[in-house]
Amino acid sequence: MKWLVNNIHTVRNNCKRQNLITSSTTFLNSQEKKKFFHSTSSKNNNNYVKTIPKPPKTHQVTKSIVCFRHGDRSASHNLFEPDSELAVQEALAWSLELPMKTQVKELNNLAPIERSETTLLPRDAELGVFGKLTVKGIKQAHRLGRWLGNQYIAKRTLSFPNQDIISCYSSNYSRTIMSAQSVLKAMIGPTLLDGNKIKVNVCSQEEEFINVYPFLQRLQKLMYDAANKVDGSIAIADKAMSPTRNILATMLPAFSFNLRRFSWLTYQDHFHCRLGRTWPPSPDLQKSWMSRIKNLFNESDLGNDTYLTKNETFKLLRVLSDYVTDEDCEKIFKSMDINENGIVTFEEFVEFCEKGFPLAYTDEMENEMWETRDIVEKHVVKRFEMWYGSKEILNFAIGRLVKRINSILLNQQSFDSTTQVTLISGHDITVFPLLYAVGGWKEGEDLWPSYTSAVIFELLEPIPENVNNDEKRYIRGFYYPGCLSETGEDGEINIREITFGDNTGNHIFGDEKTLIPLDEFVKLDQD
């Protein structure tokens, strides 16, 4: 950690000398520090409500579609590679944030995973402890589930839940699958869920409609071309940020050793995830960590002799880090073996693990990083706003998702006919473009979608006895901001009613409105 502190101070000083922070801030219109983690300020927005309002007296809610981002997760990649000891400590520290195998098994039993024969393992399966849902992420998903349960079950907006009226889909990532399971568990209750066995449907690559970015080469090319167009808006924005980029690219070993190409999104992800940790940890979290350390030690103790031999330690280190060589293993083993007796006891193992803490930066380190981190996040948001400003890119990004939403609303497939609540567990790049497409994204106000943020669409149909008053079916939408802070502070739940329209002033649905006819809404995929 000393190495990292020194690097951070170096970056800070270089930024000051070259006035990089000032120039980049001017370009991106920097915001004050503590509002940075909020998707939007609910106190200053009159469109926010504490609960979904009742529909007009002439109509009733017959369907609800909830597209949400997964909960808190570990960083996507170990950016301390190839610094072997730091990389291993980073992996160990993250492993203690993840749910126990028993908790994962319980979720799988409550809400089984449904895969087609052609569906591969989760795309994050080979990342080890990285890119995985944390214990805090499960709690955030539970919070969303409880809120949905209160809206649609406790208040009896929809019929009593069963496997016929609730459907659930997830992208093929373990973090989105577990988030979906956790939402279901809290929404319905483990007892009812166990009885109904509502499945989490994971689509094959050919049928994927939630996260198509890894598969659609045309989408990748469009985004690449837009970012590299010499006189394009993204290129201009990137050029203004290039001095800052050059310095940040030397901060972390994976970048500085060219093991991973520098990416604004990867850099943002690293610090976003780390700043979400709290220090000192709560007593409950400390207890959980000790349980995880004990389990990890026991799993590695293949001889069941209450200590780790050199070979057992080497096997563990290679699981934790892809870049650990025999020489690295020898060095780390010596660091673990404090009394130099050729074995690693549990106490020595605990002491080594604690070297990777805290995952959260100290106050000094956090203050040093705020300005740069603030600039980077706003730059990433701006880049995606520019991408989604292209209808062609937006079409490729969420075209399949919009078509699936329309098919559910219109009962175009047999499995849609009885579905009343559809849960779609995805990513930030699921929520962001969808919100943008319907006009719900507030440019300059919204920042990166928070964990468990959700876009909600409700179908309102006329009550039979009132059919003569208004025969139209309507759609209304809401934005659930998710976890408002990276520290996990829940705070008050406030949702925003979506005002439909596009983000250019040329409103897809005509005048801005919160209720639009269904036949107008389904034209979205045509536009």
Q: Tens of pLDDT along the chain (527 residues)? A: 333 334 433 433 443 334 433 333 333 333 333 322 223 333 344 456 677 888 888 888 889 999 999 999 999 888 887 777 778 888 888 888 888 888 899 999 999 999 877 777 888 887 888 999 998 899 999 999 999 988 887 766 665 545 568 899 999 999 999 999 999 999 988 777 777 778 999 988 888 999 999 889 999 999 999 998 888 899 999 899 988 888 778 777 888 888 888 888 888 888 888 776 766 666 777 777 788 888 889 989 999 999 999 999 998 888 776 667 888 888 889 889 999 999 999 999 988 887 766 665 556 656 656 667 778 888 999 999 999 989 899 999 999 999 999 999 988 766 556 788 999 999 999 999 999 988 888 877 788 898 999 999 999 988 877 656 667 889 999 999 887 544 444 566 778 888 887 554 434 444 557 888 898 888 876 65
224 CB-near residues (< 8 Å, 6+ apart): none
Same fold, 42-75+108-215+375-525 and 283-354: no
Q: Are the C-beta atoms of residues 152 and 108 closer than 8 Å to each other?
A: no
CA distances from 300 to 316, 318, 345, 346, 357 (A): 6, 12, 12, 11, 21
Which of 392, 463, 468 lies closest to 433, judged by CA? 392
CATH of domain 42-75+108-215+375-525: 3.40.50.1240
3-state SS assignment for residue 194: helix
Tokens of 433: 């473009």
pLDDT of residue 90: 82
Q: Are the C-beta atoms of residues 172 and 427 closer than 8 Å to each other?
A: no
Neighbours of 116 (CB within 10 A): 12
pLDDT of residue 380: 92
Give the start-to-end residue ranges of the domains of the chain.
42-75+108-215+375-525, 283-354
pLDDT of residue 145: 93
pLDDT of residue 272: 80
- Strand-pairing partners, residue 411, are none
Q: Are the C-beta atoms of residues 186 and 142 closer than 8 Å to each other?
A: yes
Question: In this predicted model, what pLDDT tens digit does every residue of 19-36 receive, in sequence order?
Answer: 433 333 333 333 333 322
144 CB-near residues (< 8 Å, 6+ apart): 68, 183, 186, 452, 454, 480, 482
DSSP output for 313-363: HHHHHHHH-TT--HHHHHHHHHHH-TT-SSSEEHHHHHHHHHTT--SSPPH
pLDDT of residue 328: 82
In whole angstroms, give the CA distance from residue 373 to residue 239.
17
The identity of residue 313, as a single letter, is T
11 CB-near residues (< 8 Å, 6+ apart): 247, 248, 250, 251, 372
In whole angstroms, give the CA distance from residue 68 to residue 208.
16
Query: Which DSSP category does 404 fall into?
Result: H
Average model confidence (pLDDT) across the chain: 79
pLDDT of residue 527: 59
Q: Are the C-beta atoms of residues 159 and 202 closer than 8 Å to each other?
A: no
In whole angstroms, give the CA distance from residue 74 to residue 277.
10
Q: Are the C-beta atoms of residues 454 and 67 closer than 8 Å to each other?
A: yes
Q: Are the C-beta atoms of residues 405 and 457 closer than 8 Å to each other?
A: yes
284 CB-near residues (< 8 Å, 6+ apart): none
pLDDT of residue 329: 87
Q: Are the C-beta atoms of residues 288 and 99 closer than 8 Å to each other?
A: no
Fold entry, domain 283-354: Recoverin; domain 1 (1.10.238)
